[in-house]
Structure 1
Amino acid sequence: MSFSLFEKILDPSQIVSGQELESRYHHIWHMDEPLKAICLLTPASTDEVSSIMKICYEHNLPVVVHGGLTNLVGSTETYGNEVVISTERLNSIEEIDGSSRTMTVQSGVILEHIHEAAANTDLLFPLNFGARGSAQIGGIISTNAGGLRVLKYGMTRQLILGLEAVMVDGTIISSMKKIIKDNSAYDVKQLFIGSEGTLGIVTKAILKLEEAPSSRNAAYIGFNNYENVVAFLKYMDSNLAGKLSGFELIWRNSYEQMTSVSNAVRPPLPYDYNYYVLIEALGSHPQIDHAEFQSLLEDAIEQDRILDAVMAQSPSDIEWFFRIREDVNNLVDFMKHDQHFDISLPIPFIGDYIADRYQSLAQIDGVEQIYAFGHVADGNIHFMIGKSNLNDDLKKKIDHCIYDGLKAIGGSVSAEHGIGTHKKDYLNLCRTPEEIVLMKALKLTMDPKGLLNPGKIF
């Protein structure tokens, strides 16, 4: 098609086409694969996004939105017949309101920049995960991302007060309110949160902030029994009175690889235990909180609740502890090919389920590495599987091994990454036929031509 239609509403520098697309890509892990698209557009305002969508709707042009390109389920993949809208120019933090404890941001703002801006005003945006240096808030909202502090603060959904989005025909839906309580009929913004860009394009949001904590304590704990992990979660959560903010579980072989000599990251605890838990507590009284945290760990050892513990003694220790958990490259870099999972299941079932998966995966020809870790306090476990080839049959065998038992125990194939293209064949394992019919009805109503992120989810 001619780009003259877009040239009427955008500056030439906002239109990327032809050979220029070779410098673009669909994911930060696939920078060597040139982007396949009709063109890529970089609007700088909600009105420009609206104008683009009006043209695309009139001319039946499929649209895929690109943010930080850290999605892990294929939600930003393209096939060559789409118009790509990049939110990179929608990168302004418009306001920080200390009294209402809110931040108004455009969708292209990077999560780490939100953290920094909040910290500069003694506030906290608690959402946190490893890709914070690249992930943009629009994509985070569109996938309802989780991360390391869901236990205390909830998923992205719980941290969005207001939202602005553009629908497929260019209509702007603006619900930009700073209030927490608004029970006036349907909460329309929730339609766009977690919909992976299939119902509308998020362009702006009002984020809920918290008072910045003045204390942060962390520790690694060793266990040999999963039931003791769960009991310790309850013990710490009840005794810390709301201060427990993170409770990460790492299986032994994952911990060993994450802290191996080749990764130049030393282990806080020796390789003597079956499970390693990283806990974090945020508070407001540094000396008192530190003493309380230490006392709880000492009491837990005396009571045989835990086998071993090492507590961070400085901010650099805390960064070291969390770097071990967050830097998944320490696993990926040693895999010929990798396959990722983010399943969700009831906490009591996690120990046996993961043990069974380890045994079953080890029997699959082509599986070379198996690593498990995750946010056990909210039932979200990540698997990273190293494999010898990209054969589709091998991929499906691994998928079936990970997913097949989830339906019977009320689990989910996606805890926080979404469905995209990679998991849509398994949506029926965690959603009823009636739910899927309703989802498709919403999609048909809001996107009757099927132009927004086509081929994703369904």
Structure 2
Amino acid sequence: MSDTLISNFQNILDGQRVLIGESLKQRYDHIWHMNTSLEALCLLLPQTTDEVSKILNLCNDHEQEVIIHGGLTNLVGSTRSSSQQVVISLERMDAIEEVDIASRTITVQAGVILEKIHDAVEEHNLLFPLNFGARGSAQMGGIIASNAGGLRVLKYGMTRDLVLGIEAVMADGTVINSLKKIIKNNSGYDLKQLFVGSEGTLGIVTRAVLKLVEAPSSRNAAFLAVDGYKDVVRLLKFFDAHLAGKLSGFELIWANAYKQMTSTSDAVRPPLPYDYRYYILIESLGSNYERDQAEFQAVLETAIVQELALDAVMAQSPSDVEWFFRIREDVNNLTDGMTHDQHFDISLPVSLIGKYIEECYDKLSTVNGVEQIYAFGHVADGNIHFMIGKESLDENLKLQINDIIYNGLQDIGGSVSAEHGIGIDKKAYLQISRTPQEIELMRALKRSLDPNNILNPRRIIDL
């Protein structure tokens, strides 16, 4: 059957866009696995929605499993494939179709890289607020499929809050086109949200209409330091109240992570000394540089006078702002010193973060084989990242670390995934975040929309 399928794929796409055999050796399943050849029956490179539709119609008829590739920055194993699976990469569907200045929207194909969107709208003094470290490689289709978050969720929300319209191809090849530019649309079910965060299990996103905002003309940032987690929460409330809606980022870094992030080179030197337990990076976006800078400085000074923070330093130039955020974004400064690394992106109520993370640090420090423990994250929206360095890839060690990070989340209403998704790697822990009834409803949706279970099978749930 595989030879017939490949021949049919070649009829849909020209020969150069159906990769088989030796051609697959130049491909990989993740940007961290570039030295490992992709395992797949074949890799397909469609350029249009119609081609995606024809491919899926054919695969559905033959009950052929399909794995979807975007920018290959996924962190939960969703892009892994086997030699019996077809891989569809949307990298050639990379056109920005329209920037509508009046509607403040941008219409893009799924393969467009996030940074390219930023550049395109900047020319029109607009901003697409979604921002995170992988913006130079992450593709919009994958970003939508995983409902990515990032550094400005506090002000602008997750990906689902920025998607106005979607075009998606269902498992049987049916095209769902809802590329509307309107914000208010209360006409029945909001079908686009079925695909946001579904990790490619319900359909393949091929195009999207994204919400833009007016570009800020000022950007201020500061690092602050405190010794108690209660002080972190007090500062969040203080800055949110005193910056009149301008607070766009509030990032928390634990002391040992801050030290590692700022001690690897002169490019990431420490803005504050290594004397404190918690370091907070805040960002404010506004419309008048001089006025906003004066306001930001005054609020920062008030925080110090009122002893809300023990120390603080304000960015004095755009290059200082970039320096501050480079510290937070370049997690390679943490992983480069690890023999093997294990990543987490949990979420939990803001008030409980300090105690929970401290308990995780204490428990992990007693585990034989754990070498480094670093925590940081988007504390304003309850999302904390853990990076654990370990001496081996032993499965028992991996599961022991998972249990420490995850097992307490259910009792406090937390989640095993804030923004990375479930994929394969977190599937066994889904019941921590979702009730049996919720999981069964997910299965019912999957059976209804993909009855042959061909789209990213065995991701999120098993049928």
Asked if these proteins are the same fold (TM beyond 0.5), I'd say yes
Instruction: Determine whether 1:223 maps to 2:226.
Output: yes
What pairs with 1:241-252 in structure 2 (closer than 5 Å)? 241-252=244-255
Instruction: Determine whether 1:323 maps to 2:342.
Output: no
CA contact (8 A) 2:169 2:204 kept: yes
- Percent same amino acid at aligned positions? 66
Name which of 369, 393, 397 aligns with 1:394. 397
* Coordinate RMSD, CA, aligned: 0.7
CA contact (8 A) 1:168 1:199 kept: yes
Normalising to structure 1: TM-score of the pair?
0.99
Quick one: distance in 2 between partners of 1:309 and 1:278?
Answer: 10
For 1:197, what is the secondary structure of its paired residue?
coil
Quick one: distance in 2 between partners of 1:151 and 1:66?
Answer: 29
Q: In the TM superposition, what is the alpha-carbon distance from 1:9 to its structure 2 partner?
A: 1.0
For 2:201, what is the secondary structure of its paired residue?
coil
Match of 1:239? 242
Match of 2:69? 66
Match of 1:429? 432
Amino acid aligned to 2:194 = L
**Deviation per residue, 1:398-457 (Å, 9 max, x gap):** 000000100000000000000000000000001000000000000000000110001111
For 1:356, what is the secondary structure of its paired residue?
helix
Amino acid aligned to 1:308 = D
Q: In the TM superposition, what is the alpha-carbon distance from 1:262 to its structure 2 partner?
A: 4.7
Instruction: Determine whether 1:198 maps to 2:201.
Output: yes
Match of 1:380? 383
Q: In the TM superposition, what is the alpha-carbon distance from 1:270 to its structure 2 partner?
A: 0.5
Instruction: Determine whether 1:359 maps to 2:362.
Output: yes
Match of 1:44? 47
Unaligned runs of 5+ in 1: none
Instruction: Determine whether 1:449 maps to 2:449.
Output: no
Match of 1:154? 157
CA contact (8 A) 2:41 2:82 kept: no
Q: In the TM superposition, what is the alpha-carbon distance from 1:261 to its structure 2 partner?
A: 3.9
Quick one: distance in 1 between partners of 2:39 and 2:345?
Answer: 27
Amino acid aligned to 1:381 = I
Match of 1:209? 212
For 1:383, what is the secondary structure of its paired residue?
strand
Match of 1:302? 305
For 1:7, what is the secondary structure of its paired residue?
helix
Match of 2:92? 89
Name which of 265, 269, 273 aligns with 2:268. 265
Name which of 151, 164, 167 aligns with 2:167. 164
Quick one: distance in 1 between partners of 2:214 and 2:338?
Answer: 41
Amino acid aligned to 2:370 = V
Match of 2:338? 335
Quick one: distance in 1 between partners of 2:126 and 2:80?
Answer: 35
Quick one: distance in 2 between partners of 1:147 and 1:261?
Answer: 24
For 2:268, what is the secondary structure of its paired residue?
coil
For 1:8, what is the secondary structure of its paired residue?
helix
Structure 1 residues 261 and 339: CA distance shift in structure 2, 3 A: closer
CA contact (8 A) 2:165 2:178 kept: yes
Match of 2:408? 405
Quick one: distance in 2 between partners of 1:167 and 1:23?
Answer: 29
**Deviation per residue, 1:108-165 (Å, 9 max, x gap):** 0000000000101100000000000000000000000000000000000000000000
Quick one: distance in 2 between partners of 1:15 and 1:323?
Answer: 39
Quick one: distance in 2 between partners of 1:417 and 1:9?
Answer: 33
Structure 1 residues 59 and 249: CA distance shift in structure 2, 3 A: same
For 1:130, what is the secondary structure of its paired residue?
coil
Quick one: distance in 2 between partners of 1:136 and 1:8?
Answer: 27
Quick one: distance in 2 between partners of 1:113 and 1:165?
Answer: 21
Unaligned runs of 5+ in 2: none
